[in-house]
Amino acid sequence: MAAEPSQLGIALPRPGKALRAMLVVLAAMSVVSALVVHWIPGPPRGVELFGLLTFDAGQRAFYMEPWRIVTSGLLTSPIGISHTLFTLLGLYFLGADLERRWGGARLLRLLLIAVVTGNLLAWGLAQVFPSSAVLRGDALFGPEAALVATAVAWGRENPTAQIRLFFFLPVTGTRLIWVTLGFCALGLVYTQSQPEGVVAPFGGALVGMLLGGTPSPVRRLFLRARLGVMRKRGPVLTVESLLDDDATARPVDKGGKGKGGKAPALRVVYGGLEDDPEGKKAPKDKRWLN
């Protein structure tokens, strides 16, 4: 049964513990990074410290500093507040509904996988086209891949529900997906306004398409593969094979015969009505009869 569509324009959503923690972390990282870059210790040392958490798509051996692929998604621009504010508002309004439907663990997995996938996609294209200055980002940072994945996943969960885009424009979930992809395409034109790079948002959109929906395409593929493995264990699925991963489905003869081709012996099960019902009335409720 499909869940009821959400009306996010009626009341402010109430984020759960996981989303609240994520919003607090992003806000705290924004304030701390701005202080480090501008004041304590300030340039140039502060800029160097900030750069230790960014992702370098042009570096071949990025695995030598693996934390960058994750920490870059926690940073926002230390120059102004708009980058942080837009990210927090997007996650607040869209992520709260997903957390209510999915739970906090699944939402956090979506955000993490989106950031990692976006950075890996940017790194891969930078290696394929090393001469492109647009694709080769020296210091990529920002949670836009996670924000794009959240918007696309929300659109897949609520294809007919409406949300107030920019607080005044009503759009359905399906149209929100297309609007989000349109902004990703505009990032290819206005490259200077993309601290995450021009490629990472497309990685987030891909993750949102694959992990969004109930069940998601990835979940549906996993269930089909699991069902195929179960069918290979035997011609007939049993309750044990569905409940227990280690249980093996036992083949059952279609004729109902056991080993050796002989029918199993019959036996009498005593109970129910007496064999001699004389003087006794049969119960009205026939469910108690054998």
What domain range includes position 159? 17-214
Query: For the chain, what is the mean pLDDT?
Result: 81
Helix (H, G, I), strand (E, B) or coil at 79: coil
Q: pLDDT tens for residues 176-194?
A: 999 999 999 998 888 777 8
Max avg pLDDT among 77-91, 159-173, 265-279: 77-91
DSSP letter for 55, please: B
**What are 151-168's pLDDT values in tens digits?**
999 999 999 988 888 778
Kindly report, residue by residue over 235-253, the tens digit of the pLDDT. 555 555 555 555 444 454 5
- Domain count along the chain: 1
| pLDDT (mean) for 99-128 | 93
d(CA 29, CA 36): 10
pLDDT of residue 32: 94
Q: Is residue 254 part of a domain?
A: no
Q: What residue type is assigned to position 104 of the chain?
A: G
Mean pLDDT of 127-153: 87
Nearest CA to 154 among 23, 16, 20, 8?
8
- Report which DSSP code applies to 32: H
Q: Is residue 75 part of a domain?
A: yes
Token pair listed for 39: 């004041």
> Which residue, among 85, 90, 89, has the nearest Cα to 31 in the 3D structure?
85
Domain assignment present for 40: yes
pLDDT of residue 279: 59
CA distance 201 to 163: 21
Give the count of alpha carbons within 13 A of 274, CB side only.
6
pLDDT band at 40 (very low <50, low <70, confident <90, very high): confident
The reply to whether 226 falls in a domain is no
Residue 196 lies in a domain: yes
The answer to whether residue 32 sits within a structural domain is: yes
**Site of tokens 């940073």:** 75
Domain assignment present for residue 3? The answer is no
What CATH number does the domain containing 137 carry?
1.20.1540.10
